Structure 1
Amino acid sequence: MPQSSSRTPDAVAPDLLLLSARDADLRAVLGEIISSMPAAGLTNRVFRTETSNGWFFVRVPGPSVVGTVDRIAEAHNMELAAKIGLALPAVYCDPENGVLVTRAQEEEDLAPTAFVEELGTKLAALHGSKLTFQGVLDPDRVLAAQIRSPGSIDDVTAKVPELSNVLRFVQRSIDPLNTDILVPSHGDVSPGNCLSSSGSLLFIDWEFSAMAHPLWDIAYAALEMNFTPPQEQAFLTAYRNGTSLIASWTERDLLFMKVRCDVISALWALENPRNLCDFASRRCARALRHIDQLS
């Protein structure tokens, strides 16, 4: 769940009042709602909420993800990650409706170098934990499903013309991953899904968590954090110090995965009801830069 960028309480969101009125269990957890602050997010509505029982993050799924996320798997995977100190434990979880509540924690800014190294260390801890997550995230299958999804691929490439070149490269050049190497993965390591608190780092928003190739989280993190080359090397060094999972993988393998991540993100953005063309265009442009490095 992304964190709020504002510290100024708003009037209580009507959604929260309605949810609380309808659900006695949720009402018992929250108590009386005093104020709420909406957080920025592309798919969910998240509120940092002050109540008579304390401060909470309350996640309500947006219409674009209703029915598309396995909430049972999300709850299971998040619970396992919380047990090893990598996630906030849920205090209320309704998988059927996608509502999730955790205790709020004050976010602290880690120094850039400390954040980069902590991220590598925590990802290594997750991947090396031997937890068994529900679900499998195979980027090749995800991409194939996106291409086959309802609607013409010509329609989306017309909106973002550079997508055609990226798709052509991906379909022609990338060999399937070795799916024998699957580890418990967050699936969406981005700035809004990392919470720095009490000098440590937690992952939030486990919607896309699953068993996956370790390079998925690594590539996605490097892209979405917009690391500089030295920061990426520090991140990879911290990761390798924590686990040997990617010891045999080359920089070229990582570049291939980065292209996969960006084209999947671009197609997701164009399938989103909000039609995030600028988001998709930026991902495609970045993918083309990585393709140039692979040439």
Structure 2
Amino acid sequence: MPHSSTMTPAGPSVVLEKVLHNNSDLQAVLGEVLSAERKDGLSNQVLRISAQEGVFFLRIGQAGSEALVDRFAEAHNLQLAADLGVAVSPVYMDPDGGLLLTRALETRQSEKKDLPDMLGQELARLHNSKLKFEGEINPHTTYAALRSRIPETLDSCPDLARQLPGEFPAMLPELDRLMADVGSQSQSVMVPSHGDLSEGNCLLADNRLWLIDWEFSGMADPCWDLAYAIQEIGFDVDAERRFLTAYEFWQHRPIDRAALEVMKARCDAISALWAVVQLLDRRDPATFAPFALERAARALKQKPV
């Protein structure tokens, strides 16, 4: 991921100045801005802002993300999750502008050892909540939406092909077959789901876990959040066992392990295509090309038989 970089210490960045110029309500919430620092973010611009009214994180939606993210559904789902106590409460939201402001939390690296158990518990609480999120996460429609943005064969798009590792063009039809082979989504139970459980979206603070970045939230097969967390956080065998044990304990019912393994392959195939779409949008090849290759290779390696 890109390194963070400090902006002009005497005042807000040019980006922030433009945002504040167009959002007087946001300016009122912050008060005088003392400094702004760019933080890591793959899909959006994220600023850590020190201001008269406190320390905040401001998410600015990346241009072009409108096709993949329903900001109004995100705002609805985030507020429900915050009311439940699993999400950091928004201080200011502007779905039209892709803006989200939250207060900064003091995170603790020492608590990371407890992440599998805490995430299993909080995820079970979210899935059991009976909240009605807007939007639906369906692996096949998600894959199809991403696939539609990629040429049928990369031979017809030499600029993109040059940015990808040489093995990827041959993997693309294999990923298409993988998604077709594992069939359509048939899970009858749909639960409120975060949708993007990477390690960066799990904050450990004040002896508890908070989930952030609800852009891709919606109603989904519970295996989606489980598989995505295991794959993207990179749980080893022991951490995965602890995570699933905690989830089952608080969920009060067993997980369909066969369905979970299928979902792992689906999630990796989708993540690979998402990275290729970032390349199509002229984003950093050094970040997204290796990501696409690694996820594609892992998806094909764990393809269900």
Q: What is the distance in 2 between the residues matched to 1:287 and 1:195?
A: 27
Q: CA deviation at 1:210?
A: 0.3
Q: 2:266 corresponds to which residue?
A: 260
| Structure 1: tracts of 5 or more residues without a match | none
Q: 1:70 corresponds to which residue?
A: 70
1:209 matched to 2:217:
yes
Q: CA deviation at 1:204?
A: 0.4
Q: CA deviation at 1:131?
A: 0.5
Q: What is the distance in 1 between the residues matched to 2:93 and 2:255?
A: 39
8 Å CA contact 1:43–1:64 kept in 2: the answer is no
Q: CA deviation at 1:52?
A: 0.6
Larger displacement relative to structure 2 (274-283 or 93-102):
274-283
Q: CA deviation at 1:92?
A: 0.7
The secondary structure found in structure 1 opposite 2:302 is helix
Letter in 1 for 2:269: V
8 Å CA contact 2:5–2:38 kept in 1: the answer is no
Size of the alignment, in residue pairs? 287
Q: CA deviation at 1:108?
A: 1.2
1:231 matched to 2:239:
yes
Q: What is the distance in 2 between the residues matched to 1:138 and 1:31?
A: 41
8 Å CA contact 1:116–1:234 kept in 2: the answer is yes
Letter in 1 for 2:173: S
8 Å CA contact 1:17–1:33 kept in 2: the answer is no
Q: 2:192 aligns with which of 175, 184, 187?
A: 184
Letter in 1 for 2:78: M
Larger displacement relative to structure 2 (265-274 or 208-217):
265-274
Q: What is the distance in 2 between the residues matched to 1:13 and 1:206?
A: 25
Letter in 2 for 1:279: F
The 5 Å alignment of 1:28-177 reads: 28-147=28-147, 149-155=148-154, 159=164, 160=168, 161-171=170-180, 173-177=181-185
Q: CA deviation at 1:33?
A: 0.6
8 Å CA contact 1:136–1:212 kept in 2: the answer is yes
CA RMSD for the aligned pairs?
2.2
Larger displacement relative to structure 2 (82-91 or 106-115):
106-115
TM norm structure 2: 0.88
1:25 matched to 2:32:
no
Letter in 1 for 2:256: W
Letter in 2 for 1:216: W
Q: What is the distance in 1 between the residues matched to 2:115 and 2:291?
A: 25
| Structure 2: tracts of 5 or more residues without a match | none
The secondary structure found in structure 2 opposite 1:259 is helix
The secondary structure found in structure 2 opposite 1:107 is coil
Letter in 2 for 1:22: N
Q: What is the distance in 1 between the residues matched to 2:68 and 2:292?
A: 20
Q: What is the distance in 2 between the residues matched to 1:150 and 1:199?
A: 42
8 Å CA contact 1:26–1:92 kept in 2: the answer is yes
Letter in 1 for 2:218: A
The secondary structure found in structure 2 opposite 1:211 is strand
The secondary structure found in structure 2 opposite 1:88 is coil
Letter in 2 for 1:195: L
Q: CA deviation at 1:288?
A: 2.1
Q: CA deviation at 1:110?
A: 4.3
1:249 matched to 2:236:
no
Percent identity between matched residues is 40
Q: CA deviation at 1:127?
A: 0.6
Letter in 2 for 1:289: K
